[in-house]
Structure formats: C-alpha cells, structure tokens
C-alpha cells in the first residue's frame, strides 16, 4: 500500500491507496494557523500514524510550492517559515527504510490525472491550475518537467499581451488578469472606473466567484472580464499546445470550478492561435479528480515503478 499526503496552505490530507488506485482510508488535519516546525510535526505525525498500521511500502507528498530535489527542502509561500524547509529529512527520520518522494502540488495534479483521471495513459499532458494563482504541472515524454532549479511550470508569468503594465510586476501578466485573484482585481478596477455602473459587482471585497455569478446574470462588466479571461486562457493553452504537443490539457483549481463550462469557448480561442496539427491532437478537459488530484498524484509519485516519474 501507498501513503499519499497532500499538504495545503490550510490542511493536510492523507490517504492510503492500493496500488491499483483505490483509496483505502483518508484523513484530514487542519493546520489551524500553524507555521514552521509545527507544520512539519503535523506531517510526521500523519506519517507515523499511517505507518503504525503496517503495510505501507512507499510515501508520496504533494507540497504547496516548490520541492527542491537537490536538498530535499521545500519553499511554500503560504506556510510561515517554509522558505527552505527540510521536510524530506524530517519525514525520512520517521519513515526509515520506506522511500519518500516529494513534488510540487502542480506536478502531483498532472500525475494524478495521468494515473486515475482525465489524462490516463498520456505521456504528454499538462494540468493548468487556476486558483488564487496560476501554475502548470507538465508531463513531457512521460516525465515531469522540473527545470534546472525545480521551478518550471511557472505559467502565471506567461507574457500574453503588450505593452508591459505595472500590474504584471508582482505575479506576471497571465496571473494578474486570469487567476482568481486577478479576476477579482480586474473586475474591481473596471467597476471603479465606470461611473455609470450600478450592478452587483459594486461592492467591497469582490471575489472571483462574485464575477462568475454576475456573468451568469449577464452583468456587462462581468462579461468583459470573463471574456478577457477566455481569451487569455485560450492563448495560454495554445502556447502549451504549440510548445509541448500534448494530448491533454486539464483545467483545474478553484476557478475551474465555475469556469469549467467555458472550456469549449477556451478551446475555440486556443484553436485560433495554436500550431494547427498539434491543436488537432489535443483534448482540453476539466480535472476528473478535483480536490483529490494532489492526493492521487502523491500516490502515483510514490509508486516509483511508474514510468511517469523520473
């Protein structure tokens, strides 16, 4: 059996999987605002508890940030004190002879979908995770793309529109306009600039889900903002298609969610921009595993025998 752990910014999900992909048991632990070593202890507790029952042969962990393979340390921006946290060393101390593998959440998402989701059996497939931010988990030739310092897949920084705007500086062009946070910001700015607007988006603390809700009711600012997102998601998908020639692009994260219904429009936009032969070979689909993609991916990761993992 495999132990999979999906560490998020607010909780730890853990699950024991059979090798054929069945979840045998699952448990959640809340971080309750913990940071630093206290989060490390919560992970090692989850590991120790699962190992106590016996039968675990490998451990896979998804982390909300970057897994540095040379050092076994983690950068996780939403966990205090996790700039370079020695998670691998800590978990190995508990796991002893049982092998431990750690990858970024976005890499685990595509592993999960390739193992048990909408990219099953695909060697070339990409998970586009659109939540508060935007990232991509990339399988190419059956292997995860890491990059020289394990920070590949930072697609939120993709340049998609000229000229450069100051608003792109903090998180990149694509993310500043088409992430959950970006959607809320762009909509709030449009409301502030439009004297004649008196619709539902004129409120404090606007969130992306408000914009999707208003889009469903034909609010004109929501239509403008979401139409721009469809264009940007389509262009980003097109760029992935032209560069990677994948057979699947999986849309997931909190925004997909409500944006899943837009995938046919995104595909239509992508088809205008992408290399046409590659476009004809790819399917754009929603995540099949939803919030469980990280857990499934961590389990797949742990089965080192899988050809999806280097």
Q: Which is nearer to a copy of itself, 80 or 277 (CB)?
A: 277
CB closer to a copy of itself out of 9 and 77: 77
Q: Which two tokens stand for residue 59?
A: 């451990």
**Which three-class secondary structure state does DSSP give residue 34?**
coil
Q: How many Å apart are CA 197 and CA 201, to the nearest integer?
A: 9
Beta bridge partners of 252: 129
Per the listing, tokens 């560490």 go with 7
CA–CA dist 147, 74 (Å, integer): 15
Instruction: Give me the least distance between CB of 29 and a copy of itself, in Å please.
Output: 30
Strands (E) across the chain are located at 2-7, 11-17, 23-30, 58-63, 66-68, 73-75, 100-104, 125-130, 134-140, 143-144, 248-252, 283-286
Least gap, CB of 252 to a copy of itself (angstroms): 18
Contacting a copy of itself (CB under 8 A), which of 141, 193, 218, 264?
A: 141
Among 157, 199, 258, 306, binds a copy of itself (CB under 8 A): 157
Q: Confirm or reject binding of residue 268 to a copy of itself (CB under 8 A).
A: no
Which pair of tokens denotes residue 210? 């408000």
Q: Which is nearer to a copy of itself, 109 or 244 (CB)?
A: 244
Chosen residue from 45, 49, 161, 194 binding a copy of itself by CB under 8 A: 161
Residue 123 in the binding site for a copy of itself (CB under 8 A): yes
Total of chain residues touching a copy of itself, rule CB under 8 A:
50
Residue selected from 79, 138, 206, 214 as contacting a copy of itself according to rule CB under 8 A: 138
Stretch that binds a copy of itself, among 30-38, 180-188, 217-225, 277-285 (CB under 8 A): 277-285
Name 33's Cβ contacts closer than 8 Å, sequence gap at least 6. Answer: none
| 70 forms part of the interface with a copy of itself (CB under 8 A) | no
Round to whole Å and give the CA distance between 139 and 125: 5
State the nearest-atom distance from the C-beta of 147 to a copy of itself, in Å.
2
Least CB distance to a copy of itself at residue 273 (A): 4
* Cα-only R_g, the chain: 20
Residue 231 makes contact with a copy of itself by CB under 8 A: yes
Counting Cβ atoms within 10 Å, is residue 170 exposed (0-12), middle (13-18) or buried (19+)? exposed
Of the pair 200, 243, the CB lying nearest a copy of itself is at 243
| Least CB distance to a copy of itself at residue 244 (A) | 5
Question: Cα–Cα distances in Å, from 242 out to 9, 148, 276?
Answer: 33, 22, 8
In angstroms, the CA 248 to CA 118 distance is: 8
Residues near a copy of itself (CB under 8 A) are: 122-124, 136, 138, 140-141, 143, 145-164, 168, 172-173, 231, 235-236, 238-239, 242-247, 272-275, 277-278, 281, 310
């Amino acid at each position: 059996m495999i132990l999979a752990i999906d560490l998020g910014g607010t909780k730890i999900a853990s699950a024991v999987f059979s090798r054929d992909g069945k979840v045998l048991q699952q448990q959640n632990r809340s971080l309750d605002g913990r940071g630093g070593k206290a989060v490390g202890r919560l992970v090692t507790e989850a590991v120790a508890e699962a190992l106590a029952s016996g039968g675990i042969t490998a451990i896979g962990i998804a982390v909300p940030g970057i897994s540095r393979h040379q050092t076994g340390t983690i950068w996780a921006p939403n966990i205090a004190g996790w700039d370079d946290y020695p998670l691998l060393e800590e978990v190995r101390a508990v796991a002893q002879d049982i092998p431990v593998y750690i990858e970024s959440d976005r890499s685990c998402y595509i592993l999960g979908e390739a193992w048990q989701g909408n990219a099953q059996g695909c060697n070339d497939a990409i998970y586009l995770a659109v939540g508060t931010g935007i990232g991509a988990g990339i399988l190419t030739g059956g292997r995860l793309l890491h990059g020289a310092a394990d920070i590949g897949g930072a697609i939120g920084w993709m340049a998609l529109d000229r000229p450069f705007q100051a608003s792109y500086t903090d998180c990149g062009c694509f993310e500043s306009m088409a992430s959950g946070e970006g959607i809320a910001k762009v909509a709030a700015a449009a409301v502030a600039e439009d004297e004649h607007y008196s619709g539902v988006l004129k409120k404090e603390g606007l969130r992306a889900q408000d914009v999707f809700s208003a889009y469903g009711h034909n609010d004109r600012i929501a239509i403008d903002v979401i139409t721009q997102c469809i264009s940007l998601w389509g262009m980003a998908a097109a760029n992935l298609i032209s560069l990677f020639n994948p057979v699947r692009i999986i849309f997931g994260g909190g925004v997909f969610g409500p944006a899943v219904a837009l995938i046919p429009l995104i595909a239509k936009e992508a088809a205008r921009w992408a290399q046409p032969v590659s476009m004809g070979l790819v399917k754009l689909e929603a995540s099949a595993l939803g919030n469980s993609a990280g857990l499934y991916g961590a389990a797949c990761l742990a089965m080192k025998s899988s050809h999806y993992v280097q």
